[in-house]
Amino acid sequence: MSSQHQNIAVLNSIQAYINVYVEILSPFYNRLSIDVRQRRNHKQLIVSDLQILALMMFQIERRTVSQRQFHRETVTYGIKIPERSRFSRRCHDLAKVMKTIRNNMLQRWTRHTAYSVIDSAPILLCAPVRNMRAKVFHDVASIGFNATKHLHFYGFKFHCVMTNEGYVAGYEVTKASIHDVRVAEELLEQASSS
């Protein structure tokens, strides 16, 4: 009997956590056009778009990469969610909405940005010993050099522009051989548009 009470406590805390996301997202979601919010058959949805967006944010915060695993955990906690394939499809359909909401949040919260910092980080696809023999993503990845770690690596580079308040204003993933200067102009455009 005591184990049931523990499960109920976990269930309530997770539902409350998701409700916090719903409260944060709802003013931004309500500002979207009516075409997005009130599409065909929107009243027949069992789980609203706002709840799906909150679940997407919860998945990001939990750093669960696999949507299948996240869906399984969410169902285990007893949270109302569509079946896995429909949930994946709705998340995919709402990706553009999430990007729009993210840009609106950045505009609201980064009004008083004093400065921005641009940096990059390596994304290694194999151990440095295998750089010349690696075949994963051979048509899009390349060999680059990370000066901070004094390391030649095979993979990609993650370029990011961050405000002084800690918000990521823009990002891009490129080949490892692309220098930061070649991406800086595009990152600054992303930061100014958001």
Q: Alpha carbon of 42 to those of 68, 79, 83, 157: distances in Å?
A: 25, 20, 17, 40
168-175 and 142-146 beta bridge pairing: unpaired
Residues paired with 48 in a beta bridge: none
Segment 73-102, tens digit of pLDDT = 888 888 888 888 888 888 888 888 888 888
Phi, psi angle pair for 155, to nearest 5°: 155, -135
The number of C-alpha atoms within 13 Å of 93 and in the hemisphere containing its C-beta is: 12
* DSSP assignment letter at 143: E
Contact indicator for 137, 151 with CB cutoff of 8 Å: no
Segment 120-155, tens digit of pLDDT = 899 999 998 898 998 888 889 999 998 888 889 999
User: Model-level pTM?
Assistant: 0.63
* Distance (Å, whole) CA 168 – CA 106: 9
Helix (H, G, I), strand (E, B) or coil at 132: coil
Amino acid letter, 2: S
Segment 29-69, tens digit of pLDDT = 888 887 777 776 666 677 888 888 888 888 888 888 888 89
Chain center to CA of 194: 16
Confidence of residue 174 (pLDDT cuts 50, 70, 90): very high
Q: Which residue has the higher pLDDT, 21 or 10?
A: 21
Q: What is the pLDDT of residue 40?
A: 67
Q: Alpha carbon of 148 to those of 75, 120, 121: distances in Å?
A: 43, 10, 10
Query: How long is the chain?
Result: 194
Q: Which residue has the higher pLDDT, 114 or 70?
A: 70
Q: What is the pLDDT of residue 154?
A: 94
| Residue 188: Cβ-neighbour burial (10 angstroms; 0-12, 13-18, 19+) | middle
Q: What is the pLDDT of residue 152?
A: 92
Confidence of residue 12 (pLDDT cuts 50, 70, 90): low
Contact indicator for 37, 73 with CB cutoff of 8 Å: no
